[in-house]
Structure formats: C-alpha cells, structure tokens
Structure 1
Amino acid sequence: MSLALLDRWEGRGLDALLVSDDRVDLVLEGESIAMLAPPQLAGLIELRGRGIVSRPQRQKARLDLVIDLVPELTRMVEEEELQTEVLGRVVPRAPIPQAGVVSLGHQILLAAEAVRASLQHAAP
C-alpha cells in the first residue's frame, strides 16, 4: 500500500517521500514525535514481485498519523478508535483493513481520507 500511496501523491504533484519501509525509529521532539529512517533501510522499500527498490526519501519526518493495518473491516469505526497513544502523545489513527480484506483501491481511499481528516483537524 505504501508504494501505491507514494505513486498517488506524486502523480498529483504533491510532496510524497519515503521515510522507511518496515521500521522507523521514533523520538520525542518537544510536543511532537519524529520518525527517523534506520540507515540500512533509508530510501528502500520492497515491491513484491520485483524486490527491493529505492524511492525519494526523507531521513526524518514528524509523525502526524498512524495507519494501522487491521485484520477485518469495521463498517462504522468508533471515534475512540481513530486515535492512539505513541510515546505518551495522542496521535490520529487510521485502522485500515489489510490486503485481502479490502482491495488496494479501498485501502488507498481510506488512507487518503484519514490524511485529509488529520490535516483538517490540525488546521487552526
């Protein structure tokens, strides 16, 4: 799903950079949480059926949304399920059914809506 999201944003001329695939290191920076790419994973992501590929990358980015791949589809998600705690900070959360439960297109729609909602929530 990550590559599909990167492709979608890039195709629309929007800033879309990879921090890391599979793992990020998290650190507190004031009231924010920063994601750091482990050096051995920076800019690399697996494309199943092809192998490891590289993508434009950012070494560090602020964590604004947790996309949580879940094993089942919940038709109407409860409000309290749309946030999680990370390093003692409350962060918006998007529970998105994993591959095989819904189509990739549906996953992308759910992720895009979660990004849109988190941006609206963060706006003053």
Structure 2
Amino acid sequence: MKPDERCQEQHKHTCLIQTARAHILDDDKLDPLCDIFKVLSDPTRMRIILTLVDSEMCVCDIAGAVECSQSNVSHQLRLMRQSGIVKFRKDGKSVYYSLDDDHVKTIIVQAVNHISHMG
C-alpha cells in the first residue's frame, strides 16, 4: 500500500471492529460463498448465466447463444448446478436449464447494473 492509502495514526475503533466481525461468516458458510464466486468468475459460465437471466433454455440453444459446443456448455452447467447456481428439468430428450432462484438473478442483475454505472 502507498502511504496515502493507509492510516497515518494507529488507533482502533473497537465498536466498528466488533460490528464488522459480526458480518464475517464462519468457514462452513464462507467456503461455499467463495465457491459460488469462483464459479461465477469464468467468462464462459458468465455468458451462460446471462443467457438464462430471463428464461430457461435447452442446452443446444444455450450452446448456440454462447457459441460453444454442447459438450462444453453441458460441462459448465454441471459445475454451476453443483454450486446451486442453475437447475434443470428434462422434457423428453431435451434438457432445460434456468437460474436456480431469484437470488442468483438478483446477484447477476445487480453486478451488471454496478459495472454499467462505473466510470
């Protein structure tokens, strides 16, 4: 850190520290949270997620939208399913994917809005 990016005096605000510590999750919750963000950090997976923000889609349509092979898309979807980001349903020979719940959609929409308002 540069000198102007840190405190020049060493003092602690105990009340603020205690309040902040209350927001830190235990490892049994923190690890899965970090795993979700690791999964979200891949550009191909993020493209897939963005295609699913408004509707469910079958694997072949997702592959067409993100311009990847169905095999690669299926692999990425499996990883996201394991993290609780997407869910699927079968209809005959087709498999349809959607975001797991509105929480996932909220995270993605808020992140997109955030970067849209950055300088």
Q: Normalised by the shorter chain, which TM-score bucket?
A: under 0.3
TM-score, normalisation: structure 2: 0.27
Higher strand proportion, which one?
1
Higher helix proportion, which one?
2
